[in-house]
Structure 1
């Protein structure tokens, strides 16, 4: 059985960034909370069906509902779901479940077993390598195609390091190009 821990520290000023928002408007704290609750119920049911133990934390980050599923104390069977492709697939299924209940597009983020933090660390290394190429004389450095969430992280990491990042390409070929700011 999974435990749901709800974090209700919603930032009412949090809005989606232009790079990632599309035409969607920012959700209110109560809408984010509703998305989080619906998503947590869906994930909890999925964990029960799969006979996996996990603790679910609900939060809001950057104008999105953020669910984190971590192994219960003394249990490590959750790592079977923490592979990046599996987390992305579960996130899409969870978004569909939320959209079905709310009737609105969902931008929620799902993290299983710390996989999002691990991926953010990998992306930081990619950005550092791209910056090294620029410092060695390249005008820009293109990164491989990735999801909109990962491109958003790249934008943030590049900005933190004093560089600029633009998304280029279409569909599955959409990627970041880093340049000097």
Structure 2
């Protein structure tokens, strides 16, 4: 994905000089800037008809990654533990995986701390980017194990669905957990529908038979 942040056109006698103007303007390293050539420079006859180079420059994923690194480090300074992490961009998703000692404090009771941290990181990076980016934070594979547990809960609930029990209400969940339910049911049980109801923090998912399936 080509993320374009603060896109702006720059002009110079050459492509290199136009790019130097972009580096000065943004105040970042050259590796954090991408550009597209709008106009190649051209020399006219006796100086008549000269054309400057014009580029459209913008901050890239490297810029976002560096900023996210700085912000995440500032958060981790408030936790006791020896942590290491990786940040990977995959399309419009940012995957952050953390390992180390003292991960329990990062996860928090019922996963509340990891949920809050992901929310904060999402707000931070989306304020920098004009492209909507989804942030997924996993600490010690907590999210992966949590996802497998949610799949199990959904499968067990769906087994109880029948003509007499047309819908099942799941227990209240965090927003990222509800999203897992919606995506899993849509993918594995296309004959069923899901809906979120209620107010935070007690919002829950309803799984129900589709109208066509009930009639059948």
**CA apart distance, 1:105:** 6.2
Whether 1:139 and 2:173 are equivalent positions in the alignment is no
Distance in structure 2 (CA, Å) of the matches to 1:171 and 1:134: 25
**Counterpart of 1:171 in 2: which secondary structure?**
coil
Q: Where do 5+ consecutive residues of structure 2 fail to align?
A: 4-58, 211-216
Whether 1:171 and 2:183 are equivalent positions in the alignment is no
Alignment of 1:120-139 (within 5 A): 120-135=147-162, 137-139=164-166
Cα RMSD (Å) of the superposition? 3.2
Q: Which of 146, 170, 181 in structure 2 is aligned with 1:154?
A: 181
Structure number with larger C-alpha Rg: 2
Distance in structure 2 (CA, Å) of the matches to 1:138 and 1:149: 27
Number of positions where the alignment pairs a residue of Structure 1 with one of Structure 2: 151
**CA apart distance, 1:140:** 1.4
More helix as a share of residues: 1
Name 1:113's counterpart in structure 2: 140
Alignment of 1:58-73 (within 5 A): 58-60=87-89, 63-71=92-100
**CA apart distance, 1:130:** 1.1
More strand as a share of residues: 2
**CA apart distance, 1:51:** 4.4
- 1:155-179 per-position Cα deviation (integer Å, ceiling 9, x unaligned): 2222333242322324314322213
Normalising by structure 1, we get a TM-score of: 0.65
Q: Where do 5+ consecutive residues of structure 1 fail to align?
A: 1-9, 13-29
